Amino acid sequence: MKYNNNKIELEENGYSVVGELYSKNEIRQIIKCLENVEHNKNGFLKTKDLFAIRQLINNVPELSPLLFNANFLELLSDISDSQYFLTKAIYFDKPSESNWFVPYHQDLSISVDKKIDLENYNYWTFKKGQYGVQPPIKILEDTITIRIHLDDTDKNNGALKIIPKSHLNGITRADSKNWNLENEIICDVKRGGAMLMKPLTLHASNRTTNGKQRRVIHLELNKHKLDEPLKWLEHFNIQA
């Protein structure tokens, strides 16, 4: 298994960095596809500090064959089982002049098709026309995040900072004093590479200080059906 070490790192440390998942030409095609999208669709967000496209595959379906190339399929096969499917896809563009930063947090919300009263589904939100909810912890524990980098990213343009092994502690209160910040790692990722992460891994990002852009495609994958009648909002089968 080509990516077996990445699987081990992801499970043990809560993150892993993969290099050269996409060629230079594939990255150019992905960027061109994103640049040609009309920006008047639902799910688009634009401020001076951030441009984002939610429900990315729904809004830009032509990205699918570009993102899910042979390397991606091999990676997914090596780090997960065949039942995994896409549950969320977002494009982030942190412009070169961005002053936007994100403090340490866990990704605790999933996107679903409706709001309904179900046991162990809590903290409902409704943003930009879609419902979010914190699901049972097993769903979060089995989620795999893959962040595809369209630019070289380091500490100077918002590379993620993470606390290794923090995903092993379950859900962590925002005011917790046990974050072990002295163990902080900055995850540099080269253009065409990807960062793998567990959503319960504590992570943050700084402001841009070097005038360089940071564009990332954020994918979340899972293998669980939600409790009926709730469904994943963006369920998309990647593998046959």
- The structure's pTM equals 0.94
Q: Which residues pair with 94 in a beta bridge?
A: 214
pLDDT digits (tens, 9 = 90+) for 34-89: 988 866 566 666 666 668 899 999 999 999 999 999 999 999 999 998 899 999 99
Using the predicted structure, report yes or no on whether residue 126 has a pLDDT greater than 60: yes
Please, which pLDDT band fits residue 174 given cuts at 50, 70 and 90? Answer: low
* pLDDT at residue 233 tops 60: yes
Instruction: For residue 173, give both structure tokens.
Output: 């209160």
Q: Which domains does the chain have, with CATH numbers?
A: 4-222 (2.60.120.620)
Residue 203 clears pLDDT 70, i.e. is over it: yes
At residue 36, the pLDDT reads 86
